């Protein structure tokens, strides 16, 4: 009995370890480099959606083609404003962004009047080296964001169920206000591997012209999995 008990304990420990960690230990390897669909999964089919999608090009021209002047932007921030607008903790959905059409995005004197947006762009300008877009593959209005019913709660991955790795296209879903939609654009970045997406929150102004409220850059994550075989 003195010899059997240690043996049983050893077998139990090995069994437990292998159940949790069959490779003992496994190796994390790249399984697939995610490439967005070559064709736009949801090409705009009406004038409004085409105008919404085209705003991505305006965002890229204004903010992702050359290094932004952070000093100038910080100077523009020296205006009277509610101190609560400087607290990023509530998240961008909580702030009163204005609607900025393409013509406004092309003019720093125009878009910098939106203080909360200006603060976000100043943060973008502080990144070094600069994040510059090399190419916009395509852009479209995210189908789920056009719904105002039960479909609004479905996961964003449902928009990419026909791709090989739909989970790689999942992104943080913003809480939208009435009239807002998400424009999802796939891009490549200069001197950076992989693919990225620009997510723009878009709404119509009083004149019915769509404009950007805010946007953010998200990586399209390559898929990695635990594997026992390091040769794959």
CA 147/CA 91 separation, integer angstroms: 22
- At 137, which helix (H) or strand (E)? strand 133-141
Contact between residue 134 and residue 187 where contact means Cβ atoms under 8 Å apart: yes
Say whether pLDDT at 209 is over 60.
Answer: yes
Q: pTM for the complete prediction?
A: 0.80
Render the burial of 101-116: b for 16+ CB within 10 Å, e for the rest.
bbebbeebeebbebbb
Q: What burial letters (b/e) apply to 201-228, b meaning 16+ CB within 10 Å?
A: bbbbeeeeebbbbbbebeebebeeeeee
Q: What is the pLDDT of residues 133-177, one digit of tens each?
A: 999 999 999 988 887 654 544 556 666 766 777 777 777 778 899
Question: What confidence tens digit (pLDDT) does each residue in 108-134 have?
Answer: 999 999 999 999 999 999 987 889 999
Burial class (CB in 10 A: 0-12, 13-18, 19+), 89: exposed
Strand partners for 183:
141, 200
Instruction: Give long-range contacts, CB 8 A cutoff, 24+ apart: 150-159.
Output: 152/176, 159/41, 159/42, 159/184
pLDDT given at position 171: 73
Tokens of 87: 């607290």
Q: How far is CA 39 from CA 58, 140, 163, 186, in A?
A: 21, 11, 11, 11
pLDDT tens digits for 21-33? Answer: 556 666 667 677 8
Which two three-digit tokens encode residue 106? 């092309």
């Amino acid at each position: 009995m003195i010899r059997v008990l240690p043996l049983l304990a050893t077998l139990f420990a090995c069994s437990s370890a292998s159940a949790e960690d069959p490779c003992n230990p496994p190796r994390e390897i790249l399984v697939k480099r995610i490439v967005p669909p070559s064709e736009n999964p949801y090409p705009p089919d009406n004038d409004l959606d085409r105008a919404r999608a085209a705003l991505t090009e305006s965002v890229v021209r204004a903010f992702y083609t050359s290094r932004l002047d952070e000093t100038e932007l910080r100077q523009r921030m020296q205006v009277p404003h509610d101190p609560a607008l400087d607290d990023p903790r509530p998240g961008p959905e909580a702030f009163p962004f204005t609607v900025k059409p393409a013509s406004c995005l092309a003019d720093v004197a125009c878009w910098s009047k939106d203080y909360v947006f200006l603060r976000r762009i100043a943060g973008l300008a502080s990144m070094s080296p600069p994040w510059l877009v090399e190419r916009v593959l395509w852009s479209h209005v995210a189908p789920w964001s056009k719904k105002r019913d039960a479909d609004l709660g479905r996961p964003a991955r449902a928009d990419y169920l026909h791709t090989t790795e739909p989970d790689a296209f999942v992104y943080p879903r913003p809480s939208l206000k009435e009239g807002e939609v998400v424009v999802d654009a796939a891009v490549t970045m200069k001197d950076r591997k992989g693919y990225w997406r620009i997510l723009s929150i878009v709404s119509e102004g009083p004149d019915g012209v769509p404009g950007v409220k805010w946007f953010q850059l998200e990586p399209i994550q390559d898929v990695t999995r635990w594997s026992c075989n390091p040769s794959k």
